Amino acid sequence: MLAQKMLRTLRPRVPGWRVSRRRNIALESLIIPVVWSLGAGACFALAFVYLMAWFKAVGERETLAFFALASSLGLMTLIEMFILLAPTPEVAGRIVRWAAIPVLMVFISLVAFLHLYFGSRRLWLGYLAIGLRLAATVANFAADLNLYHLNISHLREISVFGARAHVPVGESNPWMWLGRLSSLAMVLFAIDAALAGWRRGGAVNRRRAVLIGGSLVAWITVAAGQAILVTSGIVRFTFLFALPGFFVMLAIAFELGADTVRALHVTTRLRLSEAALRHSAEQLGQERSFLRRMIDTIPGLIFVKDREGRYTLANTPVAELYGVPVEQVTGRTDAELLPQPQELDRFRNDDIAVMDSRTERVIAEEAVTDADGRTRWYRTHKVPIIGPDGSCDQVLGSSIDITARKKAESELEQQRKELVHLSRVSMVSNLSGSLTHELNQPLAAILSNAQAALRFLAREKPDLDELRRILEDIVEDDRRAGDVIRSLRVMLRRSEVRRDAFDLNALVREVIQLVRGDLLNLGLEVSLDLVPGLPVVHADRVQLQQVLLNLVINACEAMADTEPHHRHMSVSTARIDARNLKIVVSDRGPGIDANDLERVFEPFYTTKPQGLGLGLSMCRRIVAAHGGSLQASHQAGGGASFTVVLPDGFGAGATAP
């Protein structure tokens, strides 16, 4: 009706419409060719679109099956149009005969589509439908006329949307039931496939099952039923094969189209992400190789180890340390690479501790024996690597080679030791006047005693008791001279740092004894204020003697310009508290300017023309190495005062200054 209306409205605008090759054809007679051709064309267009879709992007087989279905239906529509327009019963009969081929095509493509689209579980039903239809087709071509008619008596005129058409009427072919049975099997198969689709669940799947399955079932049922009704003449209307089929096609195309569009979209995205993936994989590869180059360029060690101690990453310096190619480090453990049991245990314990505590750890210095058996020193930083699941089974380490620094440090230490020794030697040379006096005294006594003894012996009756006393005194004086020489030798000896337990007061007395010559020359009075019963000190005796001598000599020199009667030095010892002792050396010299109280301890700071200025800085370093301190202060009555504070017993671990 709609088409009729449309054609009528078109008529006035198209004046030539009535003019045709046939004379005076009624406009209504155009309805069937136009509508059916449009339907067929639409089917072919759909088929073409899905063929393209299949080619272009999707490649899914249901798309191809739909292409077959739509094109078969298009063909069927055309044939149906020819049947309706057939001019004679003979022509109609022959066209119906050829209609069997597109019907068979529709069946095959329908089964394929349903199976692929819904995934039916009873595919045999589909095969049954095809088999029966195949049999019906054979029967069709085996018959004189076609599957439906033994003969066609006449053409019955029917009205389709106001247009006249004809359907063939005649005696029915008994083999017609084959076709009906195949339609039945097809309906069952379609129901089964739709149910399979329904069972997949989800709103979309169920809608499709209902829409596509339902419309297909309805279509086949209606088409088959209507065909019976039309051919038997009960209903005077056209077949309901082509046109409803077209709408079913549209419904399927709508659903499939959504799928196809989605699939196309997905495919495009897939392609894009594939490209992006390839790009990022490339980039990742580049970054990896860059990072690899970077960690190999770093002179320090960089490595990752797992809980079993296996290397999962190691840079070139690690490989060089172990003397193996870098690719041989990963997968191996320290035990396989370096056979040093103590080092191994230490590495392992650190690694495990870092992984277990999940806290990083800095190993300030550790020794590693390299492939050549040399010891290298490293400062190592170990960091736990925590996985996405929160577990910690890897440790990342980076080590800086501090071998050169360690070597420089030990050389510096050696140089310091030598400097301390040298300054002691130079101090002894400064002391030479004093030491001469100290040696001279016993030597003088020995000479006089020995000459007196010789003179006594020359007498007739030598006093043997007197001689014995003389000899005893000679022995005593010789010992005294020996002591001076011994302490001189100790001071000159290049001795290693050692700890002795000794009495601080005895040390003070010995030092004063050594400088007595200088004190006498200066006419300098020394007062000793030594608290008795001090605890013994554990220290390097020679070095402390050096400190004390330095302070005493400084005090003497500070008073060189002081009025002779005021030349007075005091040395005192005392206990400060439970742990600390002190020695204070004070003079009556000009004192030290308040600004210079700290500067006097700087190396090369000196007020003496010949001085190197190393004495006090060395003293402070020695005392500090013993865990003590050395301070200068100003005396209330004028003059300077130096205070050495020392821990008694075992204070801080003494090292080389």
Q: Which residues bind other proteins (CB under 8 A)?
A: 433, 436-437, 440-449, 451-456, 466, 470, 473, 476-477, 480, 517, 519-521, 523-526
Could you tell me the two tokens for 190?
């379609």
Would you say 384 or 517 has its CB closer to other proteins?
Answer: 517
Tokens representing 418? 């030598």
Which runs of E-coded beta strand occur in 129-230? 149-160, 163-172
Distance CA 481, CA 440 (A): 8
Buried b / exposed e across 160-169, counting CB within 10 Å, b at 16+?
beebebbbbb
C-beta separation of 75 from 115 below 8 A: no
Q: Return d(Cα 158, Cα 237) in angstroms, integer.
A: 6
H or E segment at 183? Answer: helix 176-199
d(C-alpha 306, C-alpha 440), whole Å = 76
Least CB distance from residue 552 to other proteins, whole Å?
15
Q: How far apart are alpha carbons 484 and 493 in whole angstroms?
A: 14
Report in angstroms how near the CB of residue 574 gets to other proteins at its nearest: 24
- Least distance to other proteins, CB of residue 461, Å: 14
When the beta carbons of 444 and 506 are compared against other proteins, the nearer one is 444
205 vs 513 by CB, closer to other proteins: 513
β-partners of residue 234 are none
Distance between first and last Cα of the chain: 118
Instruction: Rank residues 274 and 472 by Cβ distance to other proteins and give the closer one.
Output: 472
**DSSP letter (8 states) at residue 339:** -
Question: From the CB of 460, what's the least distance to other proteins, in Å?
Answer: 14
The residue among 232 and 432 lying less far from other proteins, judged by its C-beta, is 432
Of residues 475 and 490, the one with the C-beta less far from other proteins: 475
Q: Measured in whole angstroms, how far is the alpha carbon of residue 614 from the centre of its chain?
A: 53
Distance in Å, CB of 451 to other proteins, minimum: 4
CB-nearer residue toward other proteins: 312 or 513: 513
Question: φ and ψ at 124, to 5 degrees?
Answer: -60, -30
Radius of gyration of the CA atoms of the chain, in A: 60
80 vs 477 by CB, closer to other proteins: 477
* Residue in 222, 251, 196, 231 with CA at minimum distance from that of residue 69: 251
Q: How far is the CB of 443 from other proteins (least distance, A)?
A: 6
Q: Which is nearer to other proteins, 109 or 449 (CB)?
A: 449
Q: How far is the CB of 638 from other proteins (least distance, A)?
A: 21
Of 345 and 472, the one with the shorter C-beta distance to other proteins is 472
Angle between helices 615-625 and 541-558 (to 10 degrees): 150
Task: Identify residue 395 by its one-letter amino acid code.
Answer: V
Q: How far is the CB of 442 from other proteins (least distance, A)?
A: 7
CA distances from 265 to 117, 252, 399 (A): 19, 19, 52
Place of tokens 């596509």: 212
What is the signed CA dihedral for 613, 619, 620, 623, rounded to 10 degrees?
Answer: 170
What is the closest distance, in whole angstroms, from the C-beta atom of residue 432 to other proteins in the complex? 12
Continuous H helices in 386-431: 403-430
Nearest-approach distance from CB 632 to other proteins, in angstroms: 27
| CB-nearer residue toward other proteins: 273 or 429 | 429
DSSP H or E segment with residue 269:
helix 242-297
In angstroms, give the least distance from the CB of 523 to other proteins.
Answer: 6
